[in-house]
Every structure is written in C-alpha cells, then in structure tokens.
A and B are shown apart, each in its own frame.
Chain A
C-alpha cells in the first residue's frame, strides 16, 4: 500500500501555486470569487494577491478537469456563483499535499543529517 502511495506521488504532476491555493481554500468550504481572493491572501500570509485574470483562468482549468464545480449561491445578493471541491479535486489536493509532505520530510532529514556531522 505504501508502495502504491509513493508511486502515485511520483506520478502526480506538481500543481501550480494558484491551483494549489484555490484547492486549499475550497477544501474547508465552498466560496465565491472574491471570497477566494481574500482567503488566498490570508492563507499565504499576504504574499499572494491573485488578480481576477489569474483566478478565473485557474478556475476554468479546474472546472474543465472536474476538480471543482460551480453552483448558484442563494444567500448573497451580489456574488451569485460559488465554487466547491469535487471528490476528484479533493483526491488531487491530497496527492499534492502527500507529495509536499514527502519532500518536506526528506528535506528535514537531510538538514538533520548535516547538523549531526
């Protein structure tokens, strides 16, 4: 099983930063466009302030790949479209986070090994 997970991590293509941030932002709950921009800004500690062009370009790709889906929001007057993660998107995010965890562990292990010398 561990072998399969490692193999999947190896095969999965790394996600771009906007895509990773969008998927992470939608992991907790669905959001509309502006809420995504604000949440991504706060997620990245103010480092990433996504423009609308970048945001909607990434959203279009994610919709095409079936990683997110669009739905009508009922409770707000202005923002009518919301986005939420699909099971496939959740799986892709999980794979990417596993890949990053794997890399982080390897990085720390090497740092520790260097310090021990």
Chain B
C-alpha cells in the first residue's frame, strides 16, 4: 500500500509534490499503521478513503495550479513560472488596493482593514519572490505588460469574487 500511495502521489502537479509529498507520505504511514492495528475491515475502508482523497486532491491541485507555459523556456532566461508568480503577486496587490478603496467608499472599515493586511502580506510575498529571482528592478516585465499577462485560474476566481454584486449577472 505504501508503494501504491507513493506512486499515486505522481498524480499531483510537481509544485504540490515538491511542497507536500514527503510530509503526505509521513502522515499516511502513521495513519496507515494505526488503522491496520484496528482490523482488516477498518484498514480496507481507510485504503479506499485514502485513494479517493488522493484522486480528488490531485484533481483540485491541477485545477488550482498555474497553466503550463506554452513557450518553452530557453536556457539562461528566467523561468516562466517565476514570471507568473511575480505577475500574480502584483495583481494580488492591485486587487487588494482596489478592494480597499471600494470598502472604504462603502464604509466597510473592517473589510478594508482585512484587505489592508492582505495587501501588506502580498507585498511581502512579492518582495520575497523578487529577492529569490533577482528581479528587484522588474525590467523584464516591460516586455510582458500586465494587461496581456495570462491569468491563473485562482486569480480569475479571486477577481470575480471581488466584483461588486451588481456586476454578477
């Protein structure tokens, strides 16, 4: 079962695997040992639940993951994924600011405070990304204007959720 689980982890996108696979394996092993001790029927039920959870989780991870770059990354150029992350981080900051302005205009001060905190975190995230990719001056973004940048599914959903109610038709 351990080997099958490890194999099924390949269903996840690479980003998710890099981040969680080792930890998922550890948690699975502990849970597996416990359910095995509770009897065969319990273990079979556990195994089915884990397989179903893995398939559902992998599907969700793929839906939420960034689109695969259409243009292959040439050697020496910055990774397209990093560009996506930087663009998305910048978009998140813009969305938070727009939301904050909207909230203040509607006297929703608690919401504005929450968005302000999100904006601060988004800026911090952008700073870390810039440091990691060595893109402090962001000059490469000039050739990749924000309005033409591909939007990730997560960003689209966030943007739609934040539209004022009268735009939802």
* Residues of A participating in the B interface, judged by any CB pair closer than 8 Å: 4-5, 7-8, 11, 13, 33-34, 37, 49-57, 59-61, 64, 66, 78-81, 87-88, 91
Contacts and interface: CB of A to CB of B under 8 A. Distances in A.
9 contacts: A4-B109, A7-B108, A8-B108, A13-B161, A53-B57, A57-B57, A60-B64, A66-B118, A66-B121
Contacts of A64: 64, 154
Contacts of B53: 50-55
B56 A57 contact: yes
Contacts of B52: 51, 53
B67 interface: no
B27 A49 contact: no
Contacts of B55: 53
Query: Binding site of A, secondary structure by majority: helix, strand, loop or mixed?
Result: helix
Given A8-B108, A61-B64, A55 B118 contact: no
Most buried by A among B20, B58, B111, B161: B20
B31 A34 contact: yes
A11 B154 CA distance: 19
A82 to B, nearest CB: 10
B37 to A, nearest CB: 14
A8 B50 contact: no
B23 interface: yes
B30 interface: yes
A66 B118 CA distance: 8
B23 A33 contact: yes
Contact of B54 (A53, A60, A78): A53
- Nearest 9 Cβ contacts at the A-B interface: A51-B53, A53-B57, A53-B53, A57-B57, A53-B54, A33-B27, A54-B53, A34-B30, A34-B27
Given A11-B111, A88-B114, A51 B50 contact: yes
B43 interface: no
Nearest to A1: B110
A19 B111 CA distance: 20
Nearest to A7: B108
Contacts of B50: 51-53
A94 B53 CA distance: 28
Given A37-B27, A53-B58, A79-B23, 7 more contacts: A8-B108, A33-B26, A52-B57, A53-B24, A79-B27, A81-B23, A87-B117
